[in-house]
Structure 1
Amino acid sequence: MNLSDEQLLTDLSRVITLMRRSFDRAMTEQGASLAQTKLLTCIKAQSGTARAADIAEIMSIAPRTVTEALDGLEREGLIQRTPDKADRRVKRLTLTPAGEAAVAVTEPLRRELSAKMLAALNPSDRAHFHAALQKLLEALADG
């Protein structure tokens, strides 16, 4: 079968879109969307030292987008912003107990959904898929 570049990229995009929708739907039902879980997990990994600018850099997201997402997390009671003791202009991010609970439920669910999705690939498929993805990542890094 001779696939065009366009067909391969369209299929890749469809897989990513469908995966995100599926994960997001299931995770939202458990307390936090996929995007919220990613942000909460990133904040948690920073152990209370995270700033919005740090999160934007780590996740390669525009600072304004991160600020808007953090506003939503704060409104939902999942994070808390506290002034930095050394620089009152800086706000440090921490998870609230509700944020911790959301991560405790949704992060394992995300891993479970990932495993179910990838179970469709046998070990050989997985190895080839991984190799192909590595080649694409290298090409993107170069250019």
Structure 2
Amino acid sequence: MNTPDADGLLAEQLLRLTRRVHRIQKRQLELCGLAITPAQSRLLRTLAHYSSPPRMADLAERLEVVPRAVTTLVDGLEASGRVRRVPDPTNRRVIRIELTDDGRQALRELRGARRAAAEDILAPLTDDQRKVLGGLLNTLVDGVGAVEEPKDRC
């Protein structure tokens, strides 16, 4: 049976692991000369999942942030040439966001940095341990048995 202290320790370990992944990924990106924030990285990855350029409101909803936050991210990515604003072909008042060739190249470099970070972190694990970890992480990510609303524990 899990005690609150044991669950707290697990939560702390997950947070420390996440920070480690980010540090290693950031180092890899710096080696590639790619200056990009984690939030910009997330926006680029999200853009790549759309079959046609989305509206900023669509991005804000998907990223679960306020629209103003997306505007700031798009401004930075547009200034670096990684995305561009394009008019909607059916409604000129609507602006859509699309990846540029530089944005697609940045995504390739980001994927490489993520793979290198994962290789570094997972290096001490055997293949069997990696499979077990993958299954456990899938369970946590999918939220099997989780309640959507957080419990008030204050």
User: TM above 0.5, one fold?
Assistant: yes
SS at match of 1:140: coil
Q: Which moved further from structure 2: 66-75 or 109-118? A: 109-118
> Counterparts of 2:108 and 2:131 in 1: how far apart (Å)?
30
Q: Count the aligned residue pairs.
A: 142
Letter matched to residue 53 of structure 1: A
Whether contact under 8 Å (1:27, 1:110) holds in the other structure is: no
What whole-Å deviation, never above 9, does each CA across 1:97-129 have from its counterpart, x for those lacking one?
Answer: 322222232223322322332233223322332
> Counterparts of 2:35 and 2:46 in 1: how far apart (Å)?
14
Unaligned runs of 5+ in 2: 150-154
SS at match of 2:146: helix
Moved over 6 A (4+): none
Whether contact under 8 Å (1:55, 1:66) holds in the other structure is: yes
Whether contact under 8 Å (1:41, 1:103) holds in the other structure is: yes
> Counterparts of 2:98 and 2:29 in 1: how far apart (Å)?
21
Whether contact under 8 Å (1:47, 1:94) holds in the other structure is: no
Whether contact under 8 Å (2:47, 2:54) holds in the other structure is: yes
Q: Which moved further from structure 2: 68-77 or 92-101? A: 92-101
SS at match of 1:130: helix
Q: TM-score, normalised by structure 1?
A: 0.79
Residue in structure 2 matched with residue 19 of structure 1 by the alignment: 21
Identity percentage of aligned residues = 32
Unaligned runs of 5+ in 1: none
Residue in structure 2 matched with residue 50 of structure 1 by the alignment: 54
Q: TM-score, normalised by structure 2?
A: 0.74
